Amino acid sequence: MVRGICVAGSPILDSHTSPYVCLVARASSPNLRRKQVGKKLSSSFMDSRFPAKAVASKKQKRVKGFVIVNSLGGQYEDETFSDVKSQIFNLFTLTAATTVLNQLYETNPTQYRWLNDFVRINKPTNRKRFLLILQKENHELAERVMETRLHLFAKWVKNLDHDQMYKDLSDQNLELMRERLMETVKWPSDDTNT
């Protein structure tokens, strides 16, 4: 469900929690069109700005002089959340590598130094590349990191409270909107003499 639109580079949003469709006006004059393409599009739920030209190059549908762009990131109607799943796997790989490093620090200083140097060079945030290279260089430690990652994931799933997580996210959103509202409101001065 789309609750907002972005027309000719200026966002008009009625909700901070839903995706929006971006409409880029097609101008008949090349100069006018060039000015519109030069404008930046923004989203209230992302801290980045996208040039209109880059956004308009995605899958488009033309409707009476407008281009409807419906392939912006974060629209998951028919998706499997593969990007979220990938980030979760990356996080568990990083956590597993840190856990194994802490264990090795106490039990095997030589392997600790080797793995510490390896982690600094090959970032565990790219899990697939990290584990492939680790398997080639030290198969035993790679298996240990993978087993630790699986164990940590199972422990996380067991302790995950979906309702509480939803409530926490909702509360955070509400608090952020409240803080933003408080920043925009002009309070009357406290001076009673005037």
Residue 127 Cα distances to 44, 121, 131, 162, 180, angstroms: 31, 13, 6, 26, 37
pLDDT in tens, 73-128: 556 566 678 888 899 999 999 999 999 999 999 999 999 999 999 999 998 888 99
- Domain end: 48, 69, 90, which one? 69
Largest CA distance in the chain: 78
- 186 DSSP 8-state letter: P
CA angle 42, 19, 182 (to 5 degrees): 65
Same domain (yes/no): 17, 60: yes
Last residue of a domain, which of 69, 100, 120?
69
Asked whether 99 and 150 are in contact (CB, 8 A), the reply is no
Amino acid at 126: N
Cα atoms in the 13 Å half-sphere on the side-chain side of 26: 11
Question: Do 21 and 58 share a structural domain?
Answer: yes
- The pTM score is 0.54
pLDDT single digits (tens) 2-14:
444 444 444 444 3
CATH number at residue 93: 1.10.1200.210
* pLDDT at residue 120, as a whole number: 93
Residue 122 lies in a domain: yes
Question: Do 91 and 63 lie in a common domain?
Answer: no
Q: Is residue 179 part of a domain?
A: no
Per-residue pLDDT of 133-174, as tens digits, reads: 999 999 999 999 999 999 999 999 999 999 999 999 999 999
Q: How many domains does the chain have?
A: 2
Please tell me whether residues 65 and 93 are part of one structural domain: no
